[in-house]
A and B are shown apart, each in its own frame.
Chain A
């Protein structure tokens, strides 16, 4: 049971980031009084993606998630691109999350030093990971539990205030609201990259994914309903940081404390989960010879220390980059393009592997193959519209940055792998050397 809770915490924590509040604000802005309907539609769409990921997880129970799924489903090159896009997303999310958190924290404490705070947060998260898998899992579970309780409390507190004169909100752009809603659930599937310790754990991954999605949907619905109610009452809500208006229901200094705590919990749980999953991908790429062998080093307890340090450093660089940008819109588009690309790859892999006779413990019989292709096409359409919008706003370069990084990185990885293989031919492993003689 505790393992189920740990995995659920990683899934929910990774998806429920500080920027989710901004995304919820956008969803309410686009969806108006139909924001809840839009959120339900996003949830249903996400269920198709999750069903595809679950099916892949049951096909390859102990694999490193995305790496194996896409490698077998659509090939080595596409798989490497997907993994690098995922890693770019971790860096991007770290940058955006820290910026969101600093925006909130410096609003409450203007003297707060941004760089010292950033380094402090990273140090805490890295130390939690270095203490071993068990400690890290309990830290993540604690963070997510506190986050869930805080969010429910926050939404509930805003429901409980006396209703004022109701102003009708128009439904504005439902399609945009659905797309924004879809990205609220993004990254929940990261749990498939975590190390599996026994067969029962592996077979439970589809259930964890479904539970994580359902819990997230419930939390988001509470917040959206509260935000819609607040706007209908004519209350001014800053939709960039909507949690600020929501915490104003309490008096100072509790309001400021709640604002910083909830944002910090959302940010920390995302950082923590991102570091666990990202480091496993780096470790695996290193073991395969795509990255320097030093990144595959582990400590006595088996924790991939070098990969954890590498991800933390890359995220720190990401924070530095994001802090220098004037606006986050280009990065939001970059993130949307990267995650949509990865989801398309998941769906295509699942659709292609449906045809194989490989044994699987779990199959979504209610989900026809054409639906996987349909959602993949839909997401490709979302990517095309995002590119067009970025082009119109003259920020296509920034939006395509993860793809450019992925193309360069995969090229370098292939060169490195060829060199490693050439060196391995001269080495004499036990079995190979015996066979040669």
Chain B
């Protein structure tokens, strides 16, 4: 769990350093959660003015939010860049929930960060 949190912090720092990603999330008002399906730990990435300003430990969301769910190892691999999220999603290792527009925005961000 600590490793996942560390991967999320490292990912936030990298994403904040990317000008295109900052432009893309500047007006994005969403609640972005990452939940581990095996340890049931849950994190919230706090977005403000085009930056990820924090990673908070939280309880799993009950309302409709942008949620990435998977085993800790998969999430760590995705956020550290060793696995492409689209591959993980297509192979059923990563689950994505949330409003259609948010899911597509996330898809666009993944294109910038992880590449095609």
Q: A133-B100, A202-B95, A288-B86 are in contact. List 12 more A-B contacts (CB 8 A).
A: A60-B92, A67-B90, A68-B92, A71-B90, A72-B92, A197-B64, A300-B101, A303-B100, A358-B92, A431-B114, A432-B81, A432-B114
Q: Which 7 A-B pairs have the closest CB atoms?
A: A429-B115, A431-B81, A302-B101, A60-B92, A302-B100, A302-B104, A62-B95
A197 and B107: CB pair below 8 A? no
A2 within 8 A of B: no
Question: From residue A6, how far is it (CB to closest CB) to chain B in Å?
Answer: 13
| Chain B, Cβ-Cβ closest to A427 | B115
Interface string of A98-142 (1 = CB under 8 A from B): 000000000000000000000000000000000011000000000
Given known A68-B91, A435-B81, contact A430–B112 (CB-CB < 8 A): yes
B14–A302 CB distance below 8 A: no
Give A262-285 interface residues, CB cut-off 8 Å to B.
284
Q: Is A198 an interface residue (CB 8 A)?
A: yes
Q: Are B92 and A302 in contact (CB under 8 A)?
A: no
Which chain B residues border A434 with CB–CB below 8 Å? 14, 81
Q: How far is the CA of A373 from the CA of B63 in the complex (A)?
A: 40
Please name all residues of chain A whose beta carbon is closer than 8 Å to the beta carbon of B41 when the two chains form the complex: none
Partner of B113, one of A198, A202, A429: A429
Name B's A-contacting residues (CB within 8 A).
14-15, 18, 21, 37, 64, 67, 69, 80-81, 86, 89-92, 95-105, 107, 112-116
Min CB gap B97→A, angstroms: 5
A303, B103: Cα distance in complex, Å: 11
Cβ of A209 < 8 Å from any Cβ of B?
Answer: no
Q: Which residues of chain B are within 8 angstroms of A431 by Cβ–Cβ distance?
A: 14, 80-81, 113-115
Q: Jot down 11 A-B pairs with beta carbons below 8 A, ordered by A.
A: A62-B89, A68-B91, A71-B91, A72-B91, A195-B103, A197-B97, A303-B100, A429-B116, A431-B115, A432-B115, A434-B14
Asked whether A287 is an interface residue with its Cβ less than 8 Å from the other chain, the reply is: yes
Interfacial residues, chain A to chain B (CB-CB below 8 A): 59-64, 67-68, 71-72, 132-133, 195-199, 201-202, 284, 287-289, 293, 298, 300-303, 358-359, 420, 423-424, 427-432, 434-435
Residue of A nearest to B108 (CB): A298
* Docked complex Cα distance between A1 and B103 (Å): 22
What residues on B are CB-neighbors of A300 within 8 Å?
101
Query: By the criterion CB–CB under 8 Å, are A62 and B96 in contact?
Result: yes
Given contacts A71-B91, A287-B107, contact A199 B101 (CB under 8 A): no
Cβ contact within 8 Å between B114 and A287:
no
Cα separation A424 to B80 with both chains bound (whole Å):
19
Residues of B within 8 A of A197 (CB): 64, 97-100
User: Whole-angstrom distance between the alpha carbons of A210 and B82 in the complex?
Assistant: 39
Q: Establish whether residues A302 and B105, one from each chain, have CB atoms under 8 Å apart when the complex forms.
A: yes
Closest B residue, CB atoms, query A298: B104
Chain A residue numbers with a CB within 8 Å of B107 are 287
CB-based contact A289/B116 at 8 Å: yes
Which of B91, B102, B105, B116 is within 8 Å of A424, CB to CB? B116
A301 in contact with B101 (CB, 8 Å): yes
Interface centre among B64, B67, B97 (most CB of A within 10 A): B97
Minimum C-beta distance from A430 to chain B (A): 5
Chain A residues with Cβ below 8 Å from B105 are 302
A301–B86 alpha-carbon span in the complex (Å): 20
Question: A71 to chain B: closest CB distance in Å?
Answer: 6
Q: With A62-B97, A195-B103, A301-B100 as given contacts, are A427 and B89 in contact (CB-CB < 8 Å)?
A: no
Task: For residue B24, give the distance in angstroms from its CB to the closest CB of chain A.
Answer: 12
Report how far A435 CA is from B10 CA in the complex, Å. Answer: 13
Q: Are B90 and A430 in contact (CB under 8 A)?
A: no
Give the residue of B37, B101, B103, B112 whose beta carbon is less than 8 angstroms from that of A359.
Answer: B37
How close is A76's CB to chain B, nearest CB, in angstroms? 10
Q: Quick one: which of B21, B86, B103 contacts A430, CB cutoff 8 A?
A: B21
**Assembled-state Cα–Cα distance A319/B103 (Å):** 33
CB neighbours of A287 from chain B (8 A)? 86, 107
Distance from A156 Cβ to chain B, minimum over Cβ atoms (Å): 39
Q: How far is the CA of A133 from the CA of B80 in the complex (A)?
A: 33
Q: A301 — which chain B residues lie within 8 A by C-beta?
A: 100-101
B104 surroundings in chain A (CB, below 8 A): 298, 302
Which residue of chain B has the shortest Cβ distance to A359 in the bound complex?
A: B37
> A residues within 8 A CB of B90?
63-64, 67-68, 71, 284, 288
